[in-house]
């Protein structure tokens, strides 16, 4: 599909924010926290909520990379946030080390299991490989449970299980190379170097999927990947209770309330895993019902919180959620970047100006619309516009 014609081109940064290198947004600095192994103790989570309330605007995001983002931090209070994260053991020594820890680990890992061991060794290997000049967004997924759970999460190099094998996979391919826990880290670095040698990052930018789309998989990548498991929803699991956040955001007050109950694991599904918790029926600021219609909608921060966004998104997303057909996904994007849902969605609304949107079927936020310039009020008044003609 061609690019969306009526929306202006947004700015692409080519890197992700961190704690040491925050990103300027419409409501202040976005300070991203990359929790080791995606886990926060109760004390750490409580302190993060305090930092958000004291030095930010009291809103916390959970990103698609299972990282937390404190919003509304000012340049004057950023130093205090950094000092607080340092005390909590949640701060890297420098920006380079912070960006290297771009590893997404299945939230269902257990101490000493294959996923845990590979993630630990891979992190150390990446920090030691100072000669490996990877793009800022180059990332890894470690997902070696019985069936993969993270195939739709953005990554360049993946570890998955296929039957008895642990596979190293170049993103965009359906085959992998068998590795062991002991050889995994070295094999991952070799694959990253192959990516660079094959011209995957001209001018310092690029992704593995774009490279593998135009050439064959790397040598020795011949074992088929396993069929993935469906993404879990809110509810009990063997590791604890999953609770969902509306559009991936929670107030600091509600976050602190959750921290009183259990340690928290961060997931890429805009959900928190409350470690060891079961059958909790009333929790502040979260979605517990797996049939809640808001779970079928993806919406970015929108205006005015994001400088790239042309319109508010979440009020419209909330209003349209009950009208999304069962089993479908509606993506409401404040601009053509489509940060909340980078891949194609059955239904997408891309803002073109304040309170106007283009409607796209089975595409990304930047794709050609089937209907241009739909007002937010018209969509609310006649939500059947979303699916008409499909």
CB atoms within 10 A of CB 292: 16
> In what helix (H) or strand (E) does residue 258 lie, and over which residues does it extend?
helix 252-259
Q: 349: which 2 tokens? A: 């609304």
The β-bridge partners of 334 are none
Distance CA 18, CA 102 (A): 11
Whether the CB-CB separation of 85 and 19 falls below 8 Å is answered with: yes
- Compute the Cα dihedral for 117, 31, 50, 312 and give only its sign: negative
Q: What is the DSSP string of 17-73?
A: --SSS-EEETTEEEEEE--GGGEE-HHHHHHHHHHHHHHS-SEEEE-TTS-EEEEEE
- Cα 101 to chain centroid, rounded: 14
Q: Which of the four pLDDT bands, split at 50, 70 and 90, describes residue 16?
A: confident
Per residue in 116-173, pLDDT tens?
Answer: 999 999 999 999 999 999 998 999 999 999 999 999 999 999 999 999 999 999 999 9
360-380, pLDDT tens digit by residue? 999 999 999 999 999 999 999
Distances in Å between the Cα of 186 and the Cα atoms of 36, 102, 113 are 21, 17, 19
Reported pTM: 0.92
The reported pLDDT for the residue numbered 10 is 57
Say if residue 8's pLDDT is above 90.
Answer: no
Q: Compute the 3-state secondary structure of the chain and give helix, strand, coil in percent, each to the nearest 5.
A: 30, 25, 45
Output 382-386 pairs: Cβ under 8 A, ≥24 positions apart. Answer: 383/320, 383/323, 384/323, 385/359, 386/320, 386/323, 386/324, 386/330, 386/347, 386/349, 386/359
Longest CA span, the chain: 59
Q: What are the structural domains, with CATH classification, of the chain?
A: 23-94+239-275 (3.90.480.10), 108-224 (no CATH), 293-386 (3.30.413.10)
**pLDDT of 254-265, one tens digit each?**
999 999 999 999
Using alpha carbons, list the distances in angstroms from residue 93 to 90, 96, 139, 183, 299. Answer: 10, 8, 20, 27, 33
């Amino acid at each position: 599909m061609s690019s969306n014609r009526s929306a202006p081109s947004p700015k692409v940064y080519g890197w992700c924010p961190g704690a040491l290198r925050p990103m300027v947004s419409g409501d202040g600095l976005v300070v991203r926290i990359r929790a080791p192994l995606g886990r926060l103790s109760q004390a750490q989570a409580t302190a993060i909520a305090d930092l958000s309330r004291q030095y930010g605007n009291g809103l916390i995001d959970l990103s698609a990379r299972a990282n937390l983002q404190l919003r509304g931090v000012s340049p004057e209070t950023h130093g205090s946030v950094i000092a607080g994260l340092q005390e909590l053991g949640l701060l890297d020594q420098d920006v380079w080390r912070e960006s290297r820890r771009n590893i997404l680990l299945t939230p269902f890992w257990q101490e000493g299991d294959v996923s845990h061991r590979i993630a630990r060794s891979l992190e150390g290997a990446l920090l030691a490989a100072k000669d490996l000049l990877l793009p800022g967004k180059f990332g890894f997924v470690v997902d070696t449970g019985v069936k993969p759970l993270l195939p739709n999460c953005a990554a360049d190099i993946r570890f998955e299980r296929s039957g008895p094998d642990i596979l190293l996979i170049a993103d965009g391919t359906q085959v992998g190379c068998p590795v062991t826990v002991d050889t995994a880290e070295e094999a991952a670095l070799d694959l990253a170097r192959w990516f660079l040698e094959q011209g995957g990052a001209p001018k310092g930018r690029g992704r593995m999927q774009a490279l593998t789309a135009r050439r064959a998989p790397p040598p020795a990548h011949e074992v088929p990947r396993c069929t993935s498991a469906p993404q879990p929803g809110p509810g009990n699991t063997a590791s604890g209770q999953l609770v969902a956040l509306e559009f991936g955001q929670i107030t600091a007050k509600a976050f602190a309330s959750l921290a009183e109950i259990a340690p928290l694991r961060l997931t890429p599904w805009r959900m928190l895993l409350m470690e060891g918790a079961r059958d909790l029926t009333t929790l502040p600021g979260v979605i517990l019902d797996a049939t809640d219609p808001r779970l079928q909608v993806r919406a970015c921060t929108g205006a005015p919180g994001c400088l790239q966004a042309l319109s508010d998104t979440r009020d419209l997303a909330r209003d349209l959620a009950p009208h999304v057909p069962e089993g479908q996904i509606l993506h409401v994007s404040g601009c053509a970047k489509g940060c909340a849902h980078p891949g194609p969605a059955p239904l997408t609304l891309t803002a073109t100006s304040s309170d106007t949107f283009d409607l796209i079927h089975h595409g990304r936020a930047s794709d050609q619309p089937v209907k241009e310039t739909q007002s937010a009020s018209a969509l609310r008044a006649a939500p059947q516009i979303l699916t008409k003609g499909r």
